[in-house]
Structure formats: structure tokens, C-alpha cells
Structure 1
Amino acid sequence: MATIESARITIDPAICGGRPTVTGTRMRVSDILDMLAGGTTADEILEDFPYVVEADIRACLAFAARAADHPIVSAAA
């Protein structure tokens, strides 16, 4: 099953050094996350970057949530 970000987020070694980007752009997922973390609103991002749509911002957030949700595996003692 495809996730929300699968069509909106691309990882291509030839684009931005393989960092995740919004599909069809050179806008890195980390750029959008950094702007949101810094207090920029989604509406401001959409206004400043007309090639980004609201679904792209949601996909970046979903991508980050999945990246942060990893199990901690520890070796048996």
C-alpha cells in the first residue's frame, strides 16, 4: 500500500545529494521542516514557494514522523 508521501517525496542520488525532496522540485524535506520548526506557517511556505502545495507539506511531516518512529534494538546481555 502506498503511503501519503510516496508520490510526493523523492529520493534520487542525482538530486540534492540523495536527500529527500518534494517530487519534481529541488525543495528538500528538511527545508520545509526547518521552516516549520522556525515558525514559518504552511500558508507562508505556500505563498513563497508556489510550486509547493499543501499536500507536499503534509507529506514532509508524514515522512519525518516515519523517520522518527524507529524501534530501538539492543543486544541481549
Structure 2
Amino acid sequence: MEKLDRITINPNICLGQPTIRGMRITVGFILKLLASNLSIQQIIESYPELEVEDIQQALNYAAWSVSEQLIHVRSA
């Protein structure tokens, strides 16, 4: 797994969801912004406390999280 030093999990912040550097900006929120076709630059302009590396690590975290999950599908 890549270094994810900007992703923090604290049960007292955002109900323990993964956040960026302990801020109240969750990885999920960043992913939703990207899925809404906002560019990294647009996100940073809207949330100047974020940095490009924050968004890149959010994507890396999501990719690793999803790749660790197994979904069992019953054959027809």
C-alpha cells in the first residue's frame, strides 16, 4: 500500500470516517466531488485548505479500500 499519511481516522471526527488531515472533509466527500465532474483544481479553489496531495491520497485510499473487498456473486 502506498503512503497515506494525510488520511486520518478519528472516532471523534465525522463519526470515524476517513478524513483529510483530521479536518472535517471526508474521503467520501472528495470522491463525490470528483464523481460530479469537478476537477482537482476546482475542488482546491472551492476548498483552499486542501492540497493536490490530499486529493491524490483520497483516491489512493479509495482504490485500496475497494480492492480489499470481496463480493460473492451467486452463479445463475
Shift of 1:25: 1.1
Deviation per CA, 1:29-67: give whole Å up to 9, x if none. Answer: 000000000111100001111110000000000000001
Give aligned-pair identity as a percent: 35
Q: Which runs of 5+ in 1 are unaligned?
A: none
- Which contiguous aligned blocks of 4+ residues in structure 1 show a shift greater than 4 angstroms? none
Q: Which runs of 5+ in 2 are unaligned?
A: none
Q: What TM-score, normalized by structure 1, do the two folds share?
A: 0.85
Partner of 2:24: 26
Partner of 1:55: 53
Aligned pairs, how many? 72
Instruction: Describe the shift of the 1:73–1:33 C-alpha distance in structure 2 as closer, same or farther (beyond 3 A).
Output: closer
- Once superposed, what is the RMSD of the aligned Cα atoms? 1.7
Partner of 1:4: 3
Distance 2:71 2:37 in 1: 34
